[in-house]
């Protein structure tokens, strides 16, 4: 069954906090994430999504309006995580595509150069979501993808 996304209510915060802790530990970023509460406070510019497969939570994504390139954007993938045992089954691609289609407009996402799986994953997602006008901005530490969905 394909992945589904749901906007995470405040009652889902403990679940998302657990996923966030796993995500940060996996990425070697420690455990501090100062923007967590803002996803339920700044509802006009931040959207916390829970990723489900067969009704079971398997990950999360945080969407906001911050532009990694500094050139402005409508939406941005801030964080994206799928639990390890749910990877490689198309769940992540399906969920990411669903999130992109939920918010038509100009998107940005930033991928660390050291994250080889993400470097392969995101271009495939952008293609699957039929992203247009794709631009890749490369630096030593990351790649920023800018593209349009819908409209």
pLDDT at 30: 65
The answer to whether residue 151 scores a pLDDT higher than 80 is: no
* CATH code, 31: 3.40.630.30
Q: How many domains does the chain have?
A: 1
Res 20: pLDDT: 94
Span 6-31, pLDDT tens digits: 999 999 999 999 999 999 988 766 66
Answer whether residue 1 shows pLDDT above 70: no
| Domain boundaries, position 44 | 3-149
pLDDT, the chain, mean = 93
Whole-angstrom distance, CA of residue 6 vs CA of residue 28: 27
**Burial degree of 23 (CB within 10 A; 0-12, 13-18, 19+):** buried
Task: Give the pLDDT of residue 103.
Answer: 96
Q: What is the pLDDT of residues 38-79, one digit of tens each?
A: 999 999 999 999 999 989 999 999 999 999 999 999 999 999
- According to DSSP H, which parts of the chain are helical? 13-27, 38-41, 91-102, 116-128
């Amino acid at each position: 069954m394909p992945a589904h996304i749901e906007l995470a209510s405040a009652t889902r915060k403990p679940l998302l906090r657990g996923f966030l802790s796993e995500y940060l530990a996996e990425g070697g970023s420690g455990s501090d994430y100062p923007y967590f509460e803002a996803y339920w406070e700044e509802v006009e510019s931040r959207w916390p999504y829970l990723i489900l497969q067969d009704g079971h939570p398997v990950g999360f994504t945080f969407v906001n309006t911050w532009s990694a390139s500094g050139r402005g954007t409508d939406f941005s993938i801030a964080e994206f995580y799928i639990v390890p045992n749910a990877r490689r089954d198309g769940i992540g691609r399906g969920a990411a595509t669903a999130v992109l289609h939920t918010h038509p407009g100009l998107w940005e996402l930033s991928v660390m150069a050291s994250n080889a799986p993400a470097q392969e994953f995101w271009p495939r997602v952008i293609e699957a979501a039929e992203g247009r006008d794709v631009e890749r901005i490369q630096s030593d530490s990351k790649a920023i993808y800018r593209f349009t969905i819908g409209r």
